[in-house]
Structure 1
Amino acid sequence: MAIMPRKEMLPGSHSEEALFTVKNLLAFPMLKDTRLLAGNQGLNRPITRVNVMEDPDVLSWVRPGEFLMTTGYPLWDEPERLRQIVPELVRRGVAALGIQGNGGNVPLPLDVVQEAEKQGLPLLELPADTVIADLVRSIMERVLAQETSQLADLQNRIQSMTRLLLDGSGLYTFLDAMEDMLDNPVAVVRESDKPWLSKSLRTAEPTEVWPLLQSLTYRQVGRGSISGFVHLQNAYRTYVNQIPMKELKQACLVLVERNREIQPIDALSVDRLSSLAGLELANLEAVREVEGKYLDQFLQDWLSGKIVSATDWRLRADVCGCTVTEGTPMCAILVGWRTFESAGKIREVARRLRSEKLRTVDGLMAAPVGDELALVLPIVPLLPAGSERDEASSQLIQKLLAELRMLLGERELNLYVGRIVERADGLPGSWAQAKRARQVAEVCKLPGEIVPYDRLGVYSLLYLIPSGEEREQFLTRFALPLQQADRKGGGRLMETLEMFFRCNGNIKLTSEKLFAHYNTIVYRLDKVQSILGVSLDDPEDRLQLHLALKLGQITPGTLGK
Structure 2
Amino acid sequence: MREQSAGHGLIGSELLAMPHLAGAKVLAGSAGLKAAVIRVNVMEVPDVIDWVMPGEFLISTGYPFRDDPNAFVELIPQLVAKGVAALGIKTKRFLDEIPPRVLAVADQYHFPIIELPPGTVFSEVVREVMERVLVEEAAGLALLQRRFQRFSELLLEGKELGELLGYVEEELGNPILLLSSAGKMHVSRQTNQWIQTVGFAQHFSITQLLQTIKSGMPNLIAGDRELRVAVTKIKEQFGAESYLTLLAWHQELKPLDTLTLERVGVLIHLEMMNVNARREVEAKYIDQFLHDWLVGRIGTRRDLDLRSEACGCPINHQGSFHAVIIRWIDTAPNLLQLKRIVQQLRQQESLRSRDLLYSIVEDRLVILVNSESDVLEKELKQRLRVALQEVQFNHSPYAFSFCLGNRVQSATEVSSSYMQAAKVYSISQICGLQQEWISYQELGVYKILYLLPQGKELSQFREEWITPLEVYDWKHQSSLILTLLAYFEQHENVRKTAQQLYTHHNTVIYRLERVKELLGVDLQRSDDRLQLQIALKLHAMEAGMQERTVEAIAGERTPFLVHLD
Query: What is the TM-score with the length of structure 2 in the denominator?
Result: 0.68
Alignment of 1:409-428 (within 5 A): 409-410=393-394, 411-417=396-402, 418=404, 425=411
Higher mean alpha-carbon deviation, 476-485 vs 131-140, is at: 476-485
| 1:349 pairs with 2:341 | yes
Q: What does the per-residue CA deviation read over 1:364-391, in whole Å, with 9 as the maximum and x for residues that have no partner?
A: 6543222222345677xx7x56xxx7xx
Q: What does the per-residue CA deviation read over 1:136-162, in whole Å, with 9 as the maximum and x for residues that have no partner?
A: 332222222223333332332233233
When residues 526 and 187 of structure 1 are mapped into structure 2, their CA distance, relative to the original with a 3 A threshold, is same
| 1:538 pairs with 2:525 | yes
Provide the C-alpha distance between the structure 2 equivalents of 1:79 and 1:308, rounded to a whole number of angstroms: 88
Alignment of 1:40-79 (within 5 A): 40=31, 47-50=37-40, 62-63=53-54, 66-69=55-58
| 1:98 pairs with 2:87 | yes
How many Å apart are 1:547 and its aligned residue? 4.1
Q: Secondary structure at the match of 1:237?
A: strand
| 1:296 pairs with 2:281 | no
Higher mean alpha-carbon deviation, 23-32 vs 53-62, is at: 53-62
Alignment match, 1:396: 379
Question: Is the Cα–Cα contact under 8 Å of residues 335 and 375 in structure 1 kept in the other structure?
Answer: no
When residues 267 and 548 of structure 1 are mapped into structure 2, their CA distance, relative to the original with a 3 A threshold, is same
When residues 539 and 97 of structure 1 are mapped into structure 2, their CA distance, relative to the original with a 3 A threshold, is farther
When residues 474 and 69 of structure 1 are mapped into structure 2, their CA distance, relative to the original with a 3 A threshold, is same
Q: What does the per-residue CA deviation read over 1:368-418, in whole Å, with 9 as the maximum and x for residues that have no partner?
A: 222222345677xx7x56xxx7xxx24324533553453334243224233
Question: Is the Cα–Cα contact under 8 Å of residues 106 and 112 in structure 2 kept in the other structure?
Answer: no
When residues 464 and 133 of structure 1 are mapped into structure 2, their CA distance, relative to the original with a 3 A threshold, is same
Alignment match, 1:26: 16
Alignment match, 1:501: 485
Alignment of 1:279-358 (within 5 A): 279-322=270-313, 327=318, 332=324, 334=326, 336=328, 338-354=330-346
Letter of the 1:453 counterpart = I
Q: Secondary structure at the match of 2:101?
A: coil
| 1:462 pairs with 2:459 | no
Provide the C-alpha distance between the structure 2 equivalents of 1:55 and 1:377, rounded to a whole number of angstroms: 78
Letter of the 2:227 counterpart = Y
How many Å apart are 1:34 and its aligned residue? 2.0
Q: Secondary structure at the match of 1:108?
A: helix
Provide the C-alpha distance between the structure 1 equivalents of 2:265 and 2:379, rounded to a whole number of angstroms: 40
1:180 to 170, 194, 201: 170
When residues 148 and 323 of structure 1 are mapped into structure 2, their CA distance, relative to the original with a 3 A threshold, is farther
When residues 175 and 372 of structure 1 are mapped into structure 2, their CA distance, relative to the original with a 3 A threshold, is same
How many Å apart are 1:232 and its aligned residue? 4.9
Alignment of 1:5-24 (within 5 A): 19-24=9-14
Question: Is the Cα–Cα contact under 8 Å of residues 358 and 403 in structure 1 kept in the other structure?
Answer: no
Which stretches in structure 1 are left out of the alignment for 5+ residues? 1-14, 117-121
Provide the C-alpha distance between the structure 1 equivalents of 2:466 and 2:341, rounded to a whole number of angstroms: 41
Alignment match, 1:11: none
Question: Is the Cα–Cα contact under 8 Å of residues 364 and 375 in structure 1 kept in the other structure?
Answer: yes
Aligned CA-pair RMSD: 5.2
Provide the C-alpha distance between the structure 1 equivalents of 2:516 and 2:304, rounded to a whole number of angstroms: 56
Higher mean alpha-carbon deviation, 427-436 vs 340-349, is at: 427-436
Letter of the 1:545 counterpart = L
Alignment match, 2:562: none
Alignment match, 1:113: 107
Provide the C-alpha distance between the structure 2 equivalents of 1:214 and 1:80, rounded to a whole number of angstroms: 42
Question: Is the Cα–Cα contact under 8 Å of residues 175 and 198 in structure 1 kept in the other structure?
Answer: yes
Provide the C-alpha distance between the structure 1 equivalents of 2:102 and 2:131, rounded to a whole number of angstroms: 30
Alignment match, 1:208: 200
How many Å apart are 1:463 and its aligned residue? 3.9
Question: Is the Cα–Cα contact under 8 Å of residues 201 and 209 in structure 1 kept in the other structure?
Answer: no
Q: What does the per-residue CA deviation read over 1:191-225, in whole Å, with 9 as the maximum and x for residues that have no partner?
A: 557454344334544542572744654x75467x9
When residues 37 and 81 of structure 1 are mapped into structure 2, their CA distance, relative to the original with a 3 A threshold, is closer
Which stretches in structure 2 are left out of the alignment for 5+ residues? 1-5, 547-565
When residues 213 and 45 of structure 1 are mapped into structure 2, their CA distance, relative to the original with a 3 A threshold, is farther
Provide the C-alpha distance between the structure 2 equivalents of 1:403 and 1:31, rounded to a whole number of angstroms: 66
Letter of the 2:364 counterpart = E
2:360 to 361, 368, 373: 368
Provide the C-alpha distance between the structure 2 equivalents of 1:233 and 1:140, rounded to a whole number of angstroms: 37
Letter of the 1:126 counterpart = E
Alignment of 1:509-528 (within 5 A): 522-528=513-519
Higher mean alpha-carbon deviation, 45-54 vs 199-208, is at: 45-54
Q: Secondary structure at the match of 1:262?
A: coil
Q: Secondary structure at the match of 2:150?
A: helix
Provide the C-alpha distance between the structure 2 equivalents of 1:148 and 1:557, rounded to a whole number of angstroms: 73
Query: What is the TM-score with the length of structure 1 in the denominator?
Result: 0.69
Alignment match, 1:8: none
Question: Is the Cα–Cα contact under 8 Å of residues 462 and 551 in structure 1 kept in the other structure?
Answer: no
What is the aligned residue count? 506
Question: Is the Cα–Cα contact under 8 Å of residues 37 and 123 in structure 1 kept in the other structure?
Answer: yes
Letter of the 2:366 counterpart = A
Q: Secondary structure at the match of 1:35?
A: strand
Q: Secondary structure at the match of 2:281?
A: helix
Provide the C-alpha distance between the structure 2 equivalents of 1:361 and 1:525, rounded to a whole number of angstroms: 58
Provide the C-alpha distance between the structure 2 equivalents of 1:499 and 1:113, rounded to a whole number of angstroms: 82
How many Å apart are 1:461 and its aligned residue? 2.8
Letter of the 2:98 counterpart = G
Alignment match, 1:140: 130
Provide the C-alpha distance between the structure 2 equivalents of 1:467 and 1:271, rounded to a whole number of angstroms: 61
Provide the C-alpha distance between the structure 2 equivalents of 1:77 and 1:476, rounded to a whole number of angstroms: 96
Higher mean alpha-carbon deviation, 490-499 vs 404-413, is at: 490-499
